Amino acid sequence: MAMKFPSEEYIHAVMEVLNNDQQYAQVARNWEGDIIFFVEPDGGVEGQDLPMTLYFDLWHGKCRQVRIINPDTEELPDAVYTLTASQHNYLRILRGELDPMQAMITRRLRVDGSMAYMLRNVPTVLDFVRCCGLVEIEADN
Amino acid sequence: MPDYAFGILNVDLNSGVTSRSEVALNDIRAYLGGSSLGAQILFPWLRADLDPLSPEAPLLFLTGPMTGTMGTSVGRYVICAKSPATKLWGESNVGGYFGPELRSTGYDGLLISGRASDPAYLWIHEGEVDMRPADHLWGICDTYETQVRIKEELNDQLVRVACIGLAGENVLPIALILCDQGRVAGRTGMGAVMGSKNLKAIAVRGRRPIPITHPDRFMISRRRENINLRNDNYSRAAREVGTAGAMEYFHYLGDVPTHYYTHGIFKGVEKISGITVAETILSGVSTCHGCVIACGRVVRLKDGRDRKGPEYETIAGFGPNLGIDDISVITMLGDLCDRYGMDTISISNVIGLAFYLYMEGILTEADTDGAPLIWGDMEIIERLVHQTVHREGLGGLLAKGSKALAEHFHVPEMAVQVNGLEVAYHDPRGASGMALVYATSPRGACHNQSDYFMVDTFGHTIEEIGINFYPRQAGAEKAANVARLQDWRTLCNALVLCNLANVPPESVLELINDVTGFDYNLDELVAIGERAWNLKRLINHRLGLTGENDRLPGHLLKPLPDGGSAGYVPPFEEMLAAYYQARGWDPETGRPTSERLESLDLTERISDNRTD
């Protein structure tokens, strides 16, 4: 079933994929770290639930928790990484139209956190994105 | 056209006579500076019968229009000459602080000819040029000691010195020129050209302002772009883990040559990557003039002394290539080469060839004074570095470079080099664009004339100027893309803008227009790169290069047995044909067509492009 991105149902569907994907379990077996995704409105125009803050707690090949955070009412977790991009660029990554490494190096996806850990775990990053892409997104998202 | 000037100090070491000349404004507008303008300046000098180590051979130090302006990572300069390694166009650009200081003397470049009767160094300051004796340095002081001694002599710690070591004095074709704390013009043997002139060093100190046509505008644009650059993902990665930070990722993709390009897996890679350096021995970072990236590593080993840490190519060369998985040993070997003034890419490559020939039974213990050559044997590797710089034992052969070593053993196809320059450590089987980059680079197998591995492995595209993404093992379809990045990097080498600086083209355009007042548009700016690329091609044709030179070494056309690029070989012939077409070069001869030269405002060079 196609889902809207970003949405509560989407992140829970991704969590289910991550926790049932043997390849991800193997590739990400050493990964320790939670990630905050800031999804910004395209062109900086707010509305339609954007901006939105997503939280993924990833630990040794499993996804322990996902949730949408309301920064106005909740304190942001001290996540290992925060990733920031427009909804458009997230969608391009999830649909396989934009390589995640390319997004990082061409300033489409900002990464805050240890670059060393990220570079040491590129296969994990790529496999996480692969799993996210397995959840179908609405065509007119 | 604005009144933008570029002044050259001409020094004849035979007579000691110096003079100043101004570059024609049309040439500045057409080539800007760096190696692009260098090619235009040296074009009349460079002939096939010119011995690059003869007194009449020129040696050109040239800055760019933004050098010293505190623009984005532009504190660089370039050294150009006919290469003693390739006998073709030679250039090597370098950071540090020497370039900005040279411009502060009032000169934008330095054209050296002749040969000093005795070892000497040049002292350029306050509009004056002195030629001073260097007998007390020659054969005695390494590249770091030379800087210290000269600063002491001149009683000024802010003097900047570019110098050679023993490798340059002994005119090894792999000799480099070093300035500051380990910033090197490593490739194409510029140190040998300097050594052939009995020139140990050049010291500069100036206080003159760097010309900027629109200083108020530039102040705003450079500040904004430096903030953007400092916050850029790529910059922050380079600052945090250095240029070797992506080594494990490159290795995962099969891009890191192992055991002289015969394998794609090196088990100790995580022990030597830039990440490990950052986690273990890193004690600080270093920068070039005005740079917000700070990719330079300062490391502290067990002796408690801080020294330059190795960058990617040095780690790859002594690490996977030669089998060393100890980052401290690699650091010491890199330091040793810097002190001798020897290019770490070339020396590790030629030692790798010796090891490979030994494994193949072609080179025997009769050639090595009885020592076996075993991958990872750090003692024999260090001994070969010493022997090479002194031209002793097997080192006498290694000192001539990979091409000569393989020819000596009648196996020229086994040397991983192009046109006499050893291949850098990004494998075209892991990043296929590098096949064309190595084969067509004007200075031999170079990864810095075009860092296409970054497009292939990281997707470092620049869509604004038509540099798009293709799969890393795609073939001919990426040929035009490769050419386009070569043009852009040639423009960067004109500025002289560091390859690590992820500055968008529109921002580069704004900065250069603010500095020069030339009011280029983006197409004109990229055309400068394409024009210079073709001019260097014409120079190389004049020096004897033909389409037959556009080749990849045989090793790189065999599939690797393991690793992330196992089984793949780039379809080189198809890629080259597509590349010639994209370049507008004759498919048979590889020469630029007259139509292409006309379109690049190189009409005056058409008569130099004869094949008869």
Residue range B292-331, pLDDT digits in tens: 999 999 999 999 999 999 999 999 999 999 999 999 999 9
Q: Is A139 helix (H, G, I), strand (E, B) or coil?
A: coil
- Same-domain check for residues B564 and B589: yes
Backbone torsions φ then ψ of A37, nearest 5 degrees:
-110, 115
The total number of structural domains in chain B stands at: 3
Residues linked to residue A112 through DSSP beta bridges, in sequence order: A82
What is A8-133's CATH number? 3.30.1050.10
Q: Count the helix, strand and coil residues of chain B and give each as a percent rounded to the nearest 5.
A: 45, 15, 40
Sign of CA dihedral B138, B142, B147, B148: negative
Question: Mean pLDDT of all residues in chain A?
Answer: 94
Q: How confident is the model at residue A48 (pLDDT cuts 50, 70, 90)?
A: low
Among B366, B389, B411, the domain-final residue is B411
**Contact residues, chain B, for A103 at CB < 8 Å:** 459
Show the domain range for B248: 216-411
Q: Chains A and B: how many Cβ contacts under 8 Å?
A: 61
| Tokens (6 digits) for A97 | 């139209």
pLDDT value at residue A47: 64
Q: Does B172 lie in the same domain as B25? A: yes
Contacts of B256 in chain A (CB under 8 A): none
- Order of strands across the sheet that contains B296-300: B282-286, B296-300, B306-308
Residues of A within 8 A of B274 (CB-CB) are 116
Is the distance from CB of A98 to CB of A127 less than 8 angstroms?
A: no
Nearest-neighbour CA in chain A from B237: distance (Å): 5
Secondary structure class of B399 (helix, strand, coil): coil
B573 and B463 in one domain?
yes
Looking at the structure, tell me whether residues B306 and B406 fall in a common domain: yes
List chain B residues with CB under 8 Å of A101.
Answer: 457-459
User: Which of A81, A92, A93, A119 is the best substitution to test chain B (most B C-beta atoms within 10 A)?
Assistant: A119
In the prediction, which pLDDT does A45 show?
59
Which positions in chain B touch A105 (Cβ < 8 Å)?
233-234, 454, 458-460, 502
Q: Mark yes or no for CB contact A120/B275 under 8 Å.
A: yes
CA–CA separation, B293 and B56 (whole Å): 40
Please indicate, yes or no, whether residues B362 and B461 belong to a single structural domain of this protein: no
- C-alpha–C-alpha distance, residues B78 and B98, integer Å: 11
**Most B-contacting residue of A84, A115, A122, A129 (CB-CB within 10 A), to test interface:** A115
Residues B365 and B433 in one domain: no
Per the structure block, which two tokens stand in for B392?
A: 């002793």
Q: Do B406 and B267 share a domain, yes or no? A: yes
Tell me whether A139 touches chain B (CB under 8 Å).
Answer: no
pLDDT for residue B181: 86
Residues in chain B: 612
The answer to whether residues B360 and B466 belong to one domain is no
Parallel, antiparallel, or unpaired for β A32-40 and A81-86? Answer: parallel
| Assigned domain for B1 exists | no
Cα–Cα dist B81/B52, whole Å: 7
pTM score: 0.96
Say if residue A6 is preceded by a cis peptide, omega within 30 of 0: yes
Task: Assess contact for B240 and B278: CB atoms under 8 A.
Answer: yes
What torsion, rounded to 10 degrees, do the Cα atoms A24, A26, A30, A36 define?
0
* B2, part of any domain: no
Q: Residue B572 is inside which H or E element, if any?
A: helix B572-583
Does residue B606 sit in helix, strand or coil? Answer: helix
The CATH number linked to B200 is 3.60.9.10
Question: Residue B397's pLDDT is what?
Answer: 98
Give the pLDDT confidence score for residue B126 in this predicted structure.
82
Mean pLDDT of chain B: 97
- DSSP assignment of B122-165 equals EEEETTEEEEEE-TTTTTT--HHHHHHHHHHHHT-TT-EEEE--
Give the residue extent of every domain in chain A: 8-133
CATH of residue B573: 1.10.599.10
Q: Identify which of B555, B569, B248 has the alpha carbon closest to the alpha carbon of residue B423.
A: B555
- Find, among B509, B513, B492, the residue nearest to B501 by Cα: B492
Shared domain check, B278 and B239: yes
Q: What number is the ipTM of this complex?
A: 0.91
Least CB–CB distance from B241: residue in A107, A109, A115 = A115
Intervals of chain B under pLDDT 70: 1-2, 610-612
Q: B459 vs chain A: nearest CA distance in angstroms? A: 4
Supply the DSSP symbol for B476: G
Strands (E), B409-498: 417-418, 421-422
**Chain-centre distance of CA B86, in angstroms?**
14
- pLDDT value at residue B446: 92
Q: Which residues of B touch A (CB under 8 A)?
A: 232-234, 236-237, 240-241, 245-246, 248-249, 252, 270, 273-275, 278-279, 454, 457-461, 463, 469, 502, 504
Task: Give the residue from B382, B411, B440 where a domain finishes.
Answer: B411
Query: Both B196 and B256 in a single domain?
Result: no
Question: Which residues on adjacent β-strands are paired with residue B120?
Answer: B133, B199
Residue that the structure tokens 């000459």 belong to: B81
Report which secondary-structure segment, H or E, holds A32.
Answer: strand A32-40
The Cα angle at residue B456 between residues B486 and A23, in degrees rounded to 5: 175
Beta-carbon contacts of A13 under 8 Å, excluding residues fewer than 6 positions away, are A3, A135
Looking at the structure, tell me whether residues B233 and B324 fall in a common domain.
yes
Are residues B474 and B374 located together in one domain of the fold?
no
Distance from CA of A9 to the nearest CA of B (A): 30
